Structure 1
Amino acid sequence: MRVIATSLLVTILVASLLLETTRTDAQVEAKRPFPIRPVHTFSIVARDPSTSELGVAVQSHWFSVGPIVAWAEAGVGAVATKSFVDPSYGKLGLDLMRAGKSAPDALKSLTAGDEGRDVRQVAMIDAQGRVDARTGKNDIQAAGHIIGKNYSVQANLMLSEKVWPAMSAAFENAKGDLAERMLVALEAAQAAGGDIRGKQSAALVVVTGKPTGQAWKDRVFDLRVDDSPEPLIELRRLVKLQRAYNHMNAGDLAVEHRDNEGALREYGAAEKLVPDNAEMIYWHAIALVNMGRVDESLPLFRRVFAMDPNWVTLTPRL
């Protein structure tokens, strides 16, 4: 009887402890204004004053960082939201800027009502180049940001405080279009030590300066490296490939407008960037045939057919 009573007492005590633990966890969860796992990164939001393009770029030691952090809309603005991340800053920030608020006012409006603002890191830039950023006082160090003319760079959980100044200097001194300059800024951050945990994913988004009303046409670059030991190397490769396909698309558009010489210039520019891409060579050859320049197309067809005989099988089906 004594053994049974003791066992019963132990059971009651264990159940009581488990219940108390459950209550404590539930209470903590109810009060927690941010997720357990942070998305720590270095990033840049920027505007090109010569084209009005807007962009955001990011790298992190976190899987598939792009869909969470990087937000942009042509003619509206760009947002980077991270640290103990609340992704709604992206959509809501764009909504507020689209409604007429400046980027600084949009950011202030969102942080004012956010109990977790001290662990957020957010940057916003609008279509006029007005920019603001906020690094929460409880973000994991090293953390900080620099706001410059038409850009902001920001980082948290970095190896050192050299990261975001390196990004700022690199962006301001870089040449090329907005995508290239943002990519140079990311590379400078990594060279300065980057994320203390390492590297895993990256993303880059650039939207046109003039919105068309068709979002899919407004994205000049929309690239993500979700999981890679060298995400920036892979991102640079994808940027180059996207440039080539942008030339191909411009060539196709020129064909539609019966600008044959313009089309051939665009196709040639694409092939210079990726000379061994069978797809580009093939459609260049097809365009020549459609222009009545069959003799010029034959060397291109031979190159493609030598790469993969399936292109031979495809051709009669067109």
Structure 2
Amino acid sequence: MHSTFSIAARDPASGLLGTAITTMVPAAGSICPHIRHGIGAVCTQGWTNPYLAPAALDRMARGYPAPEALAEALATDPEASIRQVLAVDATGRAAVHSGEETNPWSGGVTLTNLALAGNFLAGPETLEAMRAVMTGSPDTPAAPADLYQSAIALGDRLVAALAAGGTSGGDWRGNRSAAVLVAGPDIYPLVDLRVDHHSSPLAELRRVFEVSRDLWFPFLRAVPTRSNPRGDWASVRASLQEKAPDSTSAEQDSDPGPHAPE
């Protein structure tokens, strides 16, 4: 795995953790992003070693801050010089490692609640463009949000930040895959969308996100949770029945009318 720019972020209002990534090889979302709710978010890239993510997250779970957790994980890797890893812990402490043998341009940015990194980029402008989106004020004032709304808002901003990075130059060889992930307290993520291979993966990720906003995220609200093992399928089923076409009118619409005598 090589050549990617990505984000690991914590939403300070909800505490949710999210990642987003894009690269020129297929299916980066299957191996690079890792999140444990309430613990941390890690993205492994460069000439990637996905084992670094659980190694860092295990240490965060024991109370290590992200920079120390990542440093200890990297100390176990004999090829740390070709890795790039970014991490944010549950309190917003961030870390980036860019090995000296990662492909130029290579670098990272850390702020409270935010880590950005990329390699094989056109230049540092990519990271600055993503930083501006992630730290800027929303276009509209935030309304009181529940967990699902917070996850969608974080996912939306992560997708927008990737797009800004791509517009500013991004991977000079062109991108082919993209993914966004936001974890919640249950066994399934609240946002988990991927474009595994596409000529315009960032635009396609945005399209899939908007489709999910209408069709998937409302559905996800009904899935059972630890605190509500019944779920809320009744409301979804009722909504589907309300939207279903009336069978009588459908039959009438399909009636071609009187037939001519044979």
Q: TM-score, normalised by structure 1?
A: 0.66
CA separation of 1:242/1:114 partners in 2, compared to 1, >3 Å: closer, same or farther?
same
Aligned residue pairs total: 231
* Residue 215 of structure 1 pairs with residue 187 of structure 2: yes
> For residue 118 of structure 1, what is the amino acid of its counterpart?
S
The percentage of aligned residue pairs carrying the same residue is 31
Distance in 2 separating the partners of 1:285 and 1:108? 51
Say which structure is richer in helix.
1
Distance apart, 1:67 and its partner CA: 1.6
Distance in 2 separating the partners of 1:243 and 1:94? 30
CA separation of 1:227/1:252 partners in 2, compared to 1, >3 Å: closer, same or farther?
closer
Matches within 5 A, 1:167-246: 167-173=130-136, 175=138, 177-208=153-184, 211=185, 214-216=186-188, 219-244=189-214, 245-246=216-217
Distance in 2 separating the partners of 1:183 and 1:148? 19
Of residues 113, 131, 134, the one that matches 1:150 is 113
* Residue 134 of structure 1 pairs with residue 78 of structure 2: no
Distance apart, 1:152 and its partner CA: 0.8
For 1:66, the equivalent position in structure 2 comes to 29
CA separation of 1:283/1:64 partners in 2, compared to 1, >3 Å: closer, same or farther?
farther
For 1:291, the equivalent position in structure 2 comes to none
Distance in 2 separating the partners of 1:236 and 1:123? 23
Identify the range of structure 1 (194-203 vs 175-184) with the bigger mean alpha-carbon deviation: 175-184
Matches within 5 A, 1:161-172: 161-172=124-135
Structure having greater relative contact order (Cα 8 Å, sep ≥ 6): 2
For 1:284, the equivalent position in structure 2 comes to 239
Decide which structure has the larger Cα Rg and report it: 1
CA separation of 1:173/1:300 partners in 2, compared to 1, >3 Å: closer, same or farther?
same
The answer to whether the 8 Å contact 1:146/1:164 transfers is yes
> For residue 213 of structure 2, what is the amino acid of its counterpart?
R
Distance in 2 separating the partners of 1:174 and 1:60? 27
> For residue 301 of structure 1, what is the amino acid of its counterpart?
P
Distance in 1 separating the partners of 2:240 and 2:50? 45
Gaps of 5+ in 1: 1-37, 268-281, 287-296, 307-318
> For residue 64 of structure 2, what is the amino acid of its counterpart?
K
Distance apart, 1:174 and its partner CA: 5.2
> For residue 187 of structure 2, what is the amino acid of its counterpart?
A
For each residue in 1:275-318, what CA deviation from the matched residue of structure 2 results, as whole angstroms up to 9, or x when unmatched? xxxxxxx86242xxxxxxxxxx3x74249x96xxxxxxxxxxxx
Distance in 2 separating the partners of 1:60 and 1:179? 18
Distance in 2 separating the partners of 1:113 and 1:252? 39
Distance apart, 1:252 and its partner CA: 7.6
> For residue 70 of structure 2, what is the amino acid of its counterpart?
L
CA separation of 1:257/1:230 partners in 2, compared to 1, >3 Å: closer, same or farther?
closer
Distance in 1 separating the partners of 2:166 and 2:213? 23
CA separation of 1:302/1:78 partners in 2, compared to 1, >3 Å: closer, same or farther?
same
Distance in 1 separating the partners of 2:35 and 2:124? 27
Query: Secondary structure of 2:163's partner?
Result: helix
For each residue in 1:228-269, what CA deviation from the matched residue of structure 2 results, as whole angstroms up to 9, or x when unmatched? 111111211222233332223436889x789x9xx5xxx7xx
* Residue 301 of structure 1 pairs with residue 250 of structure 2: no
Distance in 2 separating the partners of 1:249 and 1:63? 27
* Residue 43 of structure 1 pairs with residue 6 of structure 2: yes
> For residue 250 of structure 1, what is the amino acid of its counterpart?
R
What's the Cα RMSD here? 2.6
Distance in 2 separating the partners of 1:101 and 1:228? 38
